[in-house]
Amino acid sequence: IILDSVVGVLEVGLDMTSISEAIRRTNNQSLFIALTAFLFGGAYIWFFARSLTRPIRNLVDAVEGVAAGDLEHEIIVTERNEIGHLALSFNYMTKRLRGYTGNLKKINAQLEADAAIIEKLRSYNENILNSINPGVLTLNLEGQITTLNNAGIKILQLEKVEATGCTIADVFASEHPVGLLLQSLVTTPEVCRGREIAIGDESKETLLVFNAALLYEQNMELVGIAVTFEDVTEMRYLQMRINESEKLAAMGGLAVGMAHEVRNPLGAIKTCAQFLRDKFEPEDNRYKFPQIIIREAERLDQLIERLLNFTRPAEQDFQYEDINEILDNVAVLASLKVNDRRLTIKKSFDPNIPRLFVDAKRLQQAFLNIMLNAIDAMPDLGTLSAMTIYDQEKRRIKIEISDTGEGIPVNLVDKIFDPFFTTKIKGTGLGLAIVQQIILEHNGLISVQSKVGEGTLFTIFLPL
């Protein structure tokens, strides 16, 4: 371009083939170098990372082994860096743990040996407690039962109750006499001896004797109460039988002496009275006086004969008999005394009662005596009831004879079985004493409940 005018065209050419080839070769070389550097760098990083993670992995495996209980595992230290220092610390820790574990094993073995000795002593003491006849019960100061042996469970009739570890209120009813005694000992700890308590119902009363002592620690601190108790029902029953036997023996000697001393002059009086009576005619007013003497002499002779029968052993004739049949026969005999009085005799007999090995005549005498007394207690009207019940669980027969008569005053109930005690004008006082004797001959029990104006209930238990 000259003076703003195009005067011509210049065309310049350059061959780029060689240059492009050179650039391509350069690019290829650069890519090869970069790839080689990447591969070498990756391999270096992998080997470097592996050199770091392998001891860490070993350390992790060792920790997991220790956690699983393998204290014998040690890490081989190959490096002197932080990881190597950590491995050395770990090996030192496991060594200390092995020492502690060994000591703990020794201590544990000693504790197990001591526990075995304690268990042996506990078992030995428990065997002793369960082998003795008296009941043993211990309480802490909070009223919790800490010990109760097998005899105590049986005596207190707690077979269906888990007493050990429970409080007094959990085991005994609020008005139970044993519970009241134990609660009083907890409230006011004291030593007691010979405390008598009756438990059970009136048909099966059990008499227990309690003794209590205080339990102290070695520093004399009070920690509880120990209570021992025994069932003395059988012993008191035997003692009563012995007393009865001694009483009967003494009365027998008295009766024999009295029979000898009284019957001879009584026979003479009766003979003389008969002689005097024969001197008069029945129409003569003087005839009745010797007749009265004869009648009273015969009544006195009958009294002496009854006393002799009471004190001397009776001939026994034990056979298997039907108690219901015996009571039914007695009720028929008793009804003969009712006459024209408005009295009702009710009978309720259990048909499942088995036959008993008894002396039928003696039992008939006892039942008849009770029923006749019941009829005498109802001069105008009333109800005489006789009932039998078979107690299969306790293997005994319960007999109840009751009336709706005048009743017996409370202060006289305990005396009605005493010989010669009577409230009747013409009574001898031997009737119920003989009844009790007959029941005892059959290893039975007899009790009486009475309320003035409502009537009297005699309860008899005869064992199978």
Tell me, what CATH number does 222's domain have? 3.30.450.20
| Rounded Cα distance, 260 and 262, in Å | 6
Tell me whether residue 10 is in a domain.
no
Helix (H) or strand (E) run with residue 345 in it: strand 342-348
Q: Does 227 share its domain with 346?
A: no
Per the structure block, which two tokens stand in for 257? Answer: 């002496």
Q: Does 207 share its domain with 302?
A: no
What's the whole-number mean pLDDT along residues 184-208?
81
CATH number for the domain harbouring residue 301: 1.10.287
Query: With 70 as the cut, is the pLDDT of residue 2 above it?
Result: no
Buried b (16+ CB within 10 A) or exposed e, 39-73: eeeeeeeeeeeeeeeebeebeeebeeebeeeebeb
Tell me whether residue 13 is in a domain.
no
- Please work out, in degrees rounded to the nearest 5, the angle formed at the alpha carbon of residue 402 by the alpha carbons of 399 and 408: 125
Classify residue 142 by its DSSP letter.
T
Tell me whether residue 14 is in a domain.
no
Tell me the pLDDT tens digit for each residue of 256-296.
Answer: 666 667 777 878 888 888 888 888 888 888 888 888 888 88
Per the structure block, which two tokens stand in for 9? Answer: 């065209």
Q: What pLDDT shows up at residue 400?
A: 92
Q: Does 322 share its domain with 450?
A: yes
Give the pLDDT band (50/70/90) at residue 458: very high
Would you call 410 exposed, middle or buried from its count of C-beta atoms within 10 A (0-12, 13-18, 19+)?
Answer: exposed
Helices 82-131 and 17-67 pack at an angle, to 10 degrees, of 20
Which residues are paired to 216 by β-bridges? 222
Q: Does 140 share its domain with 193?
A: yes
The answer to whether the beta carbons of residues 271 and 263 sit under 8 Å apart is no
Tell me whether residue 192 is in a domain.
yes
C-alpha 371: how far from chain center = 39
Q: What pLDDT shows up at residue 349?
A: 92
Q: Does 116 share its domain with 159?
A: no
Q: Name the amino acid, one letter, at 190.
A: E
The answer to whether the beta carbons of residues 369 and 431 sit under 8 Å apart is yes
Tell me whether residue 439 is in a domain.
yes
Q: Which of 107, 131, 155 is the last residue in one of the domains?
A: 131
Helix (H) or strand (E) run with residue 62 in it: helix 17-67
Tell me whether residue 3 is in a domain.
no
Q: Name the amino acid, one letter, at 414.
A: D
Q: Does 293 share its domain with 199?
A: no
Q: Which of 286, 311, 336 is the last residue in one of the domains?
A: 311
- Looking only at the bridges linking them, the beta strands covering 455-463 and 396-403 are antiparallel
Give the pLDDT band (50/70/90) at residue 5: low
Q: What pLDDT shows up at residue 10?
A: 60
Q: Which of 85, 105, 131 is the last residue in one of the domains?
A: 131
Q: Does 118 share its domain with 155?
A: no
Q: Does 272 share its domain with 322?
A: no
Q: What pLDDT shows up at residue 388?
A: 92
Query: With 70 as the cut, is the pLDDT of residue 203 above it?
Result: no
Tell me the pLDDT tens digit for each residue of 106-134.
Answer: 888 888 888 888 888 877 777 777 777 78
Q: What pLDDT shows up at residue 170?
A: 87
Q: What is the dihedral of CA 22, 26, 28, 29, to 10 degrees?
A: 130
Give the pLDDT band (50/70/90) at residue 11: low
Tell me whether residue 380 is in a domain.
yes
- How many structural domains compose the chain? 4
| Rounded Cα distance, 8 and 274, in Å | 209
Give the pLDDT band (50/70/90) at residue 375: confident
Strands of 396-403's sheet in order across: 342-348, 381-391, 396-403, 455-463, 445-451
Q: Does 322 share its domain with 401?
A: yes
What's the whole-number mean pLDDT along residues 126-150?
84
Task: List the domain range (segments joined by +) for residue 71.
Answer: 21-131
Q: Model pTM?
A: 0.49
Q: Does 359 share its domain with 458?
A: yes
Q: Does 115 share its domain with 152?
A: no
| Distances 224 to 3, 300, 356 between C-alpha atoms, Å | 138, 66, 50
Tell me whether residue 12 is in a domain.
no
Q: Does 143 share its domain with 213?
A: yes
What's the whole-number mean pLDDT along residues 65-77?
68
- Please work out, in degrees rounded to the nearest 5, the angle formed at the alpha carbon of residue 369 by the alpha carbons of 366 and 372: 150
CATH number for the domain harbouring residue 454: 3.30.565.10
